[in-house]
Amino acid sequence: MATLHTRSAARLMIAPSVLLLLAWMIVPLAMTIYFSFLRYNLLMPGMEEFAGFSNYSYFLTDPAFFQALFNTLAIVLGVLFITVVGGIALALLLDQPMFGQGIVRILVIAPFLIMPTVAALVWKNMFMNPVNGLFAWVAKLFGLQPFDFLANAPLMSVIIIVAWQWLPFATLILLTALQSLDEEQKEAAQMDGASAWSRFIYLVLPHLSRAITVVILIQTIFLLSVFAEILVTTNGGPGTQSTNLTFLVYAQALLQFDVGGASAGGIIAVILANIVAFFLMRMIGKTLEA
Amino acid sequence: MARNVSTRRKIVVTVVAWTIGILIFFPILWTFLTSFKTEAEAIASPPSLFFFDWTTENYHEVQSRSNYFLHFMNSVVVSFGSTLIGLIIAIPSAWAMAFSPTKRTKDVLMWMLSTKMMPSVGVLVPMYLLFRNTGLLDTRTGLVIVLTLINLPIIIWMLYTYFKEIPGEILEAARMDGASLSKEIIYVLTPMAIPGIASTLLLNIILAWNEAFWTLNLSAAKAAPLTAFIASYSSPEGLFYAKLSAASTMAIAPILILGWFSQKQLVRGLTFGAVK
Amino acid sequence: MGNITLRNVSKVFGAHAVIPSIDLNINDGEFVVFVGPSGCGKSTLLRLIAGLEDVSGGEIAIDGKNATELPPAQRGLSMVFQSYALYPHMSVRSNIAFPLKMANEDKAVIDRKVSDAARVLNLTDYLDRKPRQLSGGQRQRVAIGRAIVRQPKAFLFDEPLSNLDAALRVNMRLEISQLHQDLKTTMVYVTHDQVEAMTMADKIVVLNRGRIEQVGSPLDLYHKPDNLFVAGFIGSPRMNFVSGQPAAAYQAHTMGIRPEHLVLSKENGTWAGTVGVAEHLGSDTFLHVNVDTIGTVTARVSGDFPVTHGDRVFLTPDAQRVHRFDDKGLAVR
């Protein structure tokens, strides 16, 4: 609905963004694909040669790959579960009338604004450390043996730290959605004799479905590539117990300098992410249309 | 009678909510408090919450030992730089998509969003090599470029949803009043969109400030922003809780304050306008 | 001078021809109203004249010069939008001054023209307010002020009164008519409200599905509608249409008679019926009469006529005022 003049101006103005993002998508990705077929190690410059699919078969048969795949999924699903369930509960709580609601909101939001490296370091040293951590002190207070979180349950520890960072995000969005629920609808349901529980099931939850979809979508994007938390806390270990795909590729590339292998891993990560994205995009596409 | 019950309920809710709120906030509070302790007090058992000798020694130490200010400025330059450049590229694009939509506009927006879904590791190797070969490794310029690219889709989306709320008739009125396209954008659209542009700016500064994949992998001593600087404390020899806390407090304080002021916009921006 | 000529103008959106082809001449100084139901293409036509949309074919001439390819700013036209489209971040003064500023007028000239316009429109006390601090009628006047300071060749109005309440609408109607008499500038006015069209226009253009049904003065359209559509659209309450046997009595496929041209009697007449609903307006009464064999017929009678629901009445069409239409819906004269 505009003139030819404005339309051509419009095309000109979209161009920089589209071209930049296109370049950002295609150039490095094409290079990654190219490298993934080479035997190429930064420690042995000049020795590059075509390697066919050997990088892929090496990567795909590496037991660390399956561990990383499992860990990636565990982190995504674990954090999603904690944050969505916890977020709904917290949002319902914060939606009640109370004293100092604004301050509580500020307290709850805070972890989301903390940079991942700080969050990870604080948890690792000041809470989970088996000697000087606060958890160890609490355990001793009850006469228990301090638990070495990062050594004995590294994956769970990472999930706890990441969930702590993302719980505010889910809460904030669900709370916003909750507050947009029409007060009269709730009153009508009350007049119709609906109990608090059935109001939640039949009124609140359907109203939140769109927000929940959005929370899952956005978090999944970020959770698939959790990196700093692992780097700072466990360095992927012990062994590969807390290595996810992102960290595995990083280790291959920048710790072992195996460009070919890391590239193959990167491509596999892209393919897996695309499979997930395919379903997510269909989900958000529908939600945003509505 | 009814009033009594509801007041009691309110008190119960208040106590529960405050308890949970403080628990969630506790790691940050603890970091803040620890930053004013001596190293000995920081690992003392039993730990003391408030009653210790408050000292600002750690803050001085962090600056003098590791040139904290350099990394702070790196963070400022990288997050503001990438956000501003992103805005300059995104404003015209968002204008075009909001006010001169075509059949493909929705697809273009979706495609832009999908570039966010590409895992960063997929392009880590070539980006690292490209940066190494062009001398961009460990430079502020290099980080600004990458962060601009990764946040551009979010900036465009946010601006798009804000622009969509501006009635097209007002821009047409400007056109009738003789404004050229650039004057229409400068005199009419931009001032009307200031709140939207401001919250886009804010959110992206927060995201860029906290970005911790590219900043960790593409910077070292010289250009490292605070994310990477703090990560250097993860090595065993860096185990000084009080100094770590002081550095952390300084790294998170500016963004914490910015974020608290922009809660509402945060929700909107992070959900691409799907939840307002 | 501001005569506007449309030759073969068409507009196609995708596969849908909103305006197949229109020829129209708007004379200098004329107050022309485009009227029609929603979706008839009247707003599109106005936007084509404004240059906010490209024509798909044909030519638009303003002042005798081809303006088809000109951008809106260079056509020398002003427009008042339905939503007023005031710039919310600017004061009333800056809003009115905006077109002058865009034309790089002198600061002194701008100030003089703005205060002139403000005086004419009773806005002098509000010049430093923001649009959101104004009432609907005041916003409307600011929009008009912004349009008049440029001294355009013609004003375009896109349903400017539809966001106002009923009382204000009547006032603003008068003000716009007054403005037209003072300025004597061409005005093109789009509305879906036939009352606005009748009361304000020198010339009415009735549009339906992108086609011109009839062009003429308000009374022309009222007295001599070319077809069923115009007959039904102009006049309130709506003209009664009757077909079949009763129409054949008037040598027509369909006969039309306006409610005000029916004579009511309690004793005798052409059509007999029972009063259904009686709407008493005070001065007039609208009677919805269920006439045997015809159906509901609306009649307008004097407010004093003593009649209520269920009364048996007789209606007689004024033979001089009967409109006759053929089987294609065209008027037979």
Q: What is the pLDDT of residues C19-63, one digit of tens each?
A: 999 999 999 999 999 999 988 889 999 999 998 888 888 999 999
Per-residue pLDDT, C245: 83
Q: What is the pLDDT of residues C252-296, one digit of tens each?
A: 889 999 999 999 888 888 888 999 888 888 889 999 999 888 889
Amino acid sitting at position B254:
P
E strands in chain B = none
A183-192, B42-51, B112-121, B185-194: which has the minimum mean pLDDT?
B42-51
The residues pairing with C62 across neighbouring beta strands, listed in sequence order, are: C4, C65
Instruction: Report residue B2's pLDDT band, with 50, 70 and 90 as the boundaries.
Output: very low
Asked whether residue B276 is assigned to any structural domain, the reply reads no
Q: Over chain A, what is the mean pLDDT? A: 85
* Same structural domain, B229 and B116: yes
Residues A54-289: name the CATH superfamily.
Answer: MetI-like (1.10.3720.10)
* Same structural domain, B177 and B117: yes
Q: What is the pLDDT of residues C167-222, one digit of tens each?
A: 888 888 998 999 999 889 999 999 999 999 999 999 999 999 989 999 999 999 99
3-state secondary structure C125-168: HHCCCCHHHCCHHHHHHHHHHHHHCCCCCEEEEECCCCCCCHHH
Chain B residue at shortest CA distance from C78:
B176
Q: What is the pLDDT of residues C237-249, one digit of tens each?
A: 899 998 888 888 8
Instruction: Report residue A1's pLDDT band, with 50, 70 and 90 as the boundaries.
Output: very low
Q: How far apart are CA A275 and CA B119, in angstroms?
A: 12
Among all chains, which residue has been given the structure tokens 């039993």?
B46
Distances (CA, A) of B125 to A50, B136, B193: 17, 14, 39
Q: Over chain C, what is the mean pLDDT? A: 89
Q: In the predicted model, what is the mean pLDDT of residues B69-74?
A: 89
Encode burial over A13-49: b for 16+ CB neighbours within 10 A, e otherwise.
bbeebeebbeebbeebbebbbebbbbbbeeeeeeeee
Tell me whether the omega of the peptide bond preceding residue B225 falls within 30 degrees of 0, making it cis: no
More confident residue, B227 or A48: B227
CA B161 remoteness from chain centre:
19
Q: Which residues of C touch B (CB under 8 A)?
A: 50, 52, 71-73, 77-79, 81-83, 85-90, 98-99, 102-103, 146, 150
Instruction: Report residue B148's pLDDT band, with 50, 70 and 90 as the boundaries.
Output: very high
A vs B: CB pairs below 8 A: 304
Chain C residue at shortest CA distance from B188:
C87
DSSP A82-101: HHHHHHHHHHHHHTS--TTH
Per-residue pLDDT, B120: 82
- Judge whether A16 is closer than 8 Å to chain B, CB to CB: yes
Q: How far apart are CA C189 and CA C80, in angstroms?
A: 9
Cβ contacts of B234 on chain A, cutoff 8 Å: 117, 120-121, 124, 231-233
Per-residue pLDDT, A132: 79
Residues B244 and B233 sit within 8 Å (Cβ to Cβ): yes
More confident residue, A109 or A43: A109
Encode burial over A160-181: b for 16+ CB neighbours within 10 A, e otherwise.
bbbbbbbbbbbbbbbbbbbeee
Q: What is the C-alpha radius of gyration for chain B, rounded to an integer number of angstroms?
A: 23
Q: Which of B103, B166, B177, B184 to mutate to test the interface with C (most CBs of C within 10 A)?
A: B177
Asked whether residue B275 is assigned to any structural domain, the reply reads no
Q: How far apart are CA C228 and CA C247, in angstroms?
A: 14
* Inter-chain touch A4–C54, beta carbons under 8 Å: yes
Q: In the predicted model, what is the mean pLDDT of residues B63-83?
A: 88
Q: Nearest CA of chain C to the CA of B103: how many Å?
A: 11
- Judge whether A89 is closer than 8 Å to chain B, CB to CB: no
pLDDT at residue B275 greater than cutoff 70: no
Contacts of A215 (CB under 8 A, 6+ apart): A83, A84, A87, A169, A170, A173, A174
Which segments of chain C belong to CATH 2.40.50.140?
237-332
Asked if the interface predicted TM-score (ipTM) of this complex is over 0.95, the answer is no
More confident residue, C333 or A17: A17
From first CA to last CA, the distance across chain B in angstroms is 37
Q: Which of C74, C80, C98, C130 to mutate to test the interface with B (most CBs of B within 10 A)?
A: C98
> What is the strand order of the sheet C154-158 is part of?
C77-80, C154-158, C186-191, C31-35, C203-208, C211-216
Amino acid sitting at position B166:
I
Asked whether residue B179 is assigned to any structural domain, the reply reads yes
The residues pairing with C211 across neighbouring beta strands, listed in sequence order, are: C208
Q: How far apart are CA C115 and CA C124, in angstroms?
A: 7
Chains that touch A (3 or more CB pairs under 8 A): B, C
Q: How far apart are CA B175 and CA C67, in angstroms?
A: 16
* Same structural domain, B54 and B80: no
Asked whether residue B26 is assigned to any structural domain, the reply reads yes
Instruction: Report residue B78's pLDDT band, with 50, 70 and 90 as the boundaries.
Output: very high
CATH of domain C237-332: 2.40.50.140
Distances (CA, A) of A30 to A60, A61, A272, B25, B118: 20, 24, 17, 44, 13
Instruction: Write down which residue in B18, B34, B58 finishes a domain.
Output: B58
Per-residue pLDDT, B1: 40
Residues A236 and A251 sit within 8 Å (Cβ to Cβ): yes
Q: Nearest CA of chain A to the CA of B77: how many Å?
A: 17
pLDDT at residue C138 greater than cutoff 60: yes
* Same structural domain, B91 and B23: no
* Inter-chain touch B172–C103, beta carbons under 8 Å: no
The answer, as to whether pTM is greater than 0.95, is no
Per the structure, the complete domain to which residue B76 belongs is given by 66-270
pLDDT at residue C330 greater than cutoff 50: yes
Q: In the predicted model, what is the mean pLDDT of residues C67-73?
A: 87
Percentage of residues in chain C having pLDDT higher than 90: 43
Which segments of chain C belong to CATH 3.40.50.300?
4-231
DSSP class of residue C171 equals H
Residues C246 and C255 sit within 8 Å (Cβ to Cβ): yes
Contacts of A181 (CB under 8 A, 6+ apart): A203, A204, A207
Among all chains, which residue has been given the structure tokens 């995504």?
A76
* Inter-chain touch C53–A4, beta carbons under 8 Å: no
Per-residue pLDDT, B238: 53
Contacts of B240 (CB under 8 A, 6+ apart): B39, B42, B233
Encode burial over B86-115: b for 16+ CB neighbours within 10 A, e otherwise.
bbebbbbbbbbbbbbbeeebeebbebbbbe
Residue B247, domain CATH: 1.10.3720.10
Single out the residue of A289, A110, A75, A80 nearest to residue A170, CA to CA. A80
Helix axes B190-210 and B68-99, enclosed angle (nearest 10): 140
Residues B63 and B35 sit within 8 Å (Cβ to Cβ): no
Q: What is the pLDDT of residues B8-67, one digit of tens each?
A: 888 888 999 999 999 999 999 999 988 888 877 777 767 777 777 788 888 888 787 778
* Same structural domain, B38 and B148: no
- Judge whether B171 is closer than 8 Å to chain A, CB to CB: no
Token pair of B232 as six digits: 């250097």
The residues pairing with C314 across neighbouring beta strands, listed in sequence order, are: C265, C272
Residues C4-231: name the CATH superfamily.
Answer: P-loop containing nucleotide triphosphate hydrolases (3.40.50.300)
pLDDT at residue B213 greater than cutoff 90: no
Single out the residue of A181, A156, A174, A2 nearest to residue A83, CA to CA. A174
Residue B122: strand, helix, or coil? helix
Contacts of C265 (CB under 8 A, 6+ apart): C313, C314, C315, C316
Q: How far apart are CA C298 and CA A238, in angstroms?
A: 90
- Judge whether A114 is closer than 8 Å to chain B, CB to CB: yes
- How many CB atoms sit inside 10 A of residue B268's CB? 22
Q: What is the pLDDT of residues C161-176, one digit of tens each?
A: 888 888 888 888 998 9
* Same structural domain, B203 and B254: yes
Q: What is the C-alpha radius of gyration for chain A, rounded to an integer number of angstroms?
A: 24
- How many CB atoms sit inside 10 A of residue C245's CB? 9
pLDDT at residue B266 greater than cutoff 80: no
Residues 201 through 260 of chain A touching chain B, CB cutoff 8 Å: 210-211, 214, 218, 221, 224-225, 227-228, 231-233, 245-246, 249-250, 253-254, 259
Q: How far apart are CA C171 and CA C2, in angstroms?
A: 26
Residues A289 and B274 sit within 8 Å (Cβ to Cβ): no
Q: How far apart are CA A10 and CA B92, in angstroms?
A: 8
Number of H helices, E strands in chain C: 9, 19
Q: What is the pLDDT of residues A277-290, one digit of tens each?
A: 787 777 766 665 54
Q: Nearest CA of chain A to the CA of B210: how many Å?
A: 4
Residues A115 and B210 sit within 8 Å (Cβ to Cβ): yes
Q: How far apart are CA B211 and CA B215, in angstroms?
A: 7
Q: In the predicted model, what is the mean pLDDT of residues B134-159?
A: 89
- Side-chain half-sphere CA neighbours of A32 within 13 A: 29
More confident residue, A29 or B238: A29
Distances (CA, A) of B60 to A125, A269, B243, C296: 22, 44, 9, 93
Top mean-pLDDT range of A77-91, C132-146, C272-286? A77-91
Overall domain count for chain B = 2
Residues B179 and C73 sit within 8 Å (Cβ to Cβ): yes
DSSP class of residue C252 equals -
